[in-house]
Amino acid sequence: MSGTGILCPCASGKLYEQCCGRGQVLYSLDQARWRRAGRNLRRNLGEFADKPFFAWDVARAQDLYLGCLDEHLVDRDDDFTMERCFEWFIFDYELSSGRTIIETFLEEQLPSLNYWEAVLLKEWARTRISLYEVTEILPGKGVVLKELLKHRKITVRDINAADEVKVGNIILIRVLKVGREYEFSTSGLALRDGCKEPVLKWLRRNRQEYVKQKGRKTETRSWATYLKEKAHIVNARVMELGFSDARTGEKPAGKDMLAARSILPITGWQSIMQSINHSASFRVVRELRDKSGAFRQAVAAILGEPRRRAEVKVREKDDENGMTSGSREAGLRSVHGLMVLTPQFIIINASNPELVFKCREFVLSCFKAEIKENDERDRDRDRDRIRNSKGEKESYSWPEPGYAAVAGSVRDGLESLGYNPKQQKGALKLWFDYCSKERPSIRKAEVWTAVVIYTFTRLEMEDKVKQNDLAGRYGVSSATISSRFRLFCRSLNLVTYDHRYATRKPLPAGVRKNRPLWKKL
């Protein structure tokens, strides 16, 4: 079209080559180089981060990232979650060297990069996740975003995003500059517009606490510094708010609300959905399906018995004479909790652990055939939550419910092995300190139970409990116990006969006190 003398279609009155078509060919060729450089960088960064040298950091980063999320809603086989975790590991996770993966890659590989790759890499290393609001959809092209923390607008080239988001959606994501364009670094978390103020309010409050904790140094006051260090925590909070959609009638879920939750694996969501649609004990308030029409989730209120029954006059205006007609028996019913139905799980939420337990028992009685055989330990854990909520036998305030479940298993395991209450207390303190510092992700409680017991017996320098025996007892591999044992040692700087946890004081011949535990073994 350039050079033909045709007027520009934007109605400016200028020739096309002097208006929108000005420099178009040069721009396209130059932008193609930037895009190619961006693709190469993404691939090379992924390969670099996946090197065996970083294996220990990858394991710790996964536990740190996933440990901030609700234990039941995250699966290490979930592509979306693990993709975001790996992206956070590359851009924000601080290695033992004090640098991130992308900063390490820049330092080591800069001489081998071409001009476009070097420029992009330096720019990307300074980029942080942020909160954006979708202000415009560009069909077949991308979206226009307003960054809520810096009040700037950018256009992101992403055809899929143009089809999947709506104007007003709130997105937590990292946006990378590629030449004159912007691209998403990975899949994003999209929330409805009603979540905007709760997210911003929480972010500002949490950042103020962060600045106060850091001593109000100049470098800690910027959003970039805060988002780099707290990206995984921000991600977890946004996921919590997204899960607790205000349209279900819930308030945005805080830690107390998330603790009052129970998960039941199921085999047939179709029959459950049909049952709750025809049951007076449930009221479906929302149903979500994807673009193809496939079921994703439904939210139903779990109703209690009617508080009173009476003949209630139902006034229905007649179109012809305005007369009232009919009456029906109605009951005022309380909402005990909310049930989220997905193709694989039933997720029960309520305002306190006691209501969760009651709702769980009710749901189990209603859908016994569709719910997979449940481990009795889950019910015991719910009962423990109720006792803890009433102040019974609560010695530690566990950051996550899963940690309390492991603590109970550790206590039972040590007791069955003949360890006294004082030793059990030392082991629980060991587990509590590790949880408080590392926030590990609990996918299988038996793994951490075996690791805590093994670590504690090594602190006591006792050989009666063998690693292979624990692996067989709890159904885990010896290699897993060994690798996590070393995580314990490094994280807490454990030494032989560590006075913080060990109860035995006499030293056997040849054993030096305060020697690093993992080196001794």
The pLDDT > 90 percentage for the chain reads 16
Per-residue pLDDT reduced to its tens digit, 192-250: 777 888 888 888 888 888 888 777 655 556 888 888 888 888 888 887 776 554 334 33
Same domain, 344 and 295: yes
Same domain, 407 and 514: yes
Per-residue pLDDT reduced to its tens digit, 127-137: 999 999 999 98
Output the pLDDT for position 41.
92
Check: pTM over 0.85? Answer yes or no. no
Same domain, 357 and 464: no
Q: What is the mean pLDDT of the chain?
A: 75
Residue 301: which domain range? 255-306+332-378
Distance (Å, rounded) from C-alpha 500 to C-alpha 502?
A: 6
Element (H, E) at 304: strand 295-313
Buried b (16+ CB within 10 A) or exposed e, 60-72: bbbbbbbbbbbbb
Output the pLDDT for position 263.
73
Whether residue 460 is predicted with pLDDT greater than 70 in this model: the reply is yes
Any bridge partners for residue 262, and if so which?
Answer: 348
**Measured in whole angstroms, how far is the alpha carbon of residue 86 from the centre of its chain?**
13
Element (H, E) at 159: helix 159-164
Single residue among 315, 346, 378 that ends a domain in this structure = 378
Per-residue pLDDT reduced to its tens digit, 417-439: 888 888 899 999 999 999 888 88
387 lies in some domain = no
Same domain, 429 and 469: yes
Same domain, 407 and 494: yes
Contact (Cβ atoms closer than 8 angstroms) between residue 331 and residue 307: yes
467 lies in some domain = yes
Single residue among 378, 410, 439 that ends a domain in this structure = 378
Neighbours of 168 (CB within 10 A): 13
The confidence band for 400, taking pLDDT boundaries of 50, 70 and 90, is confident
Same domain, 373 and 420: no
62 lies in some domain = no
| pLDDT greater at residue 57 or residue 478 | 57
CATH number of the domain that 502 lies in?
A: 1.10.472.10
What phi-psi label fits residue 418: left (phi over 0), alpha (psi between -120 and 50 degrees) or beta? left
- Residue of 479, 477, 451, 447 lying closest to 465 (CA atoms): 451
Output the pLDDT for position 236.
82
The confidence band for 256, taking pLDDT boundaries of 50, 70 and 90, is very low
The total number of residues shown for the chain amounts to 521
Contact (Cβ atoms closer than 8 angstroms) between residue 147 and residue 112: no
Output the pLDDT for position 299.
82
- The domain tally of the chain equals 2
Output the pLDDT for position 507.
53
Tokens 């890499």 found at: 121
The pair of structure tokens assigned to 321 is: 């004479």
Same domain, 302 and 371: yes
Output the pLDDT for position 311.
36
Highest mean pLDDT among 216-225, 271-280, 321-330, 331-340: 271-280
Cα-Cα-Cα-Cα dihedral sign, residues 315, 318, 319, 320: negative
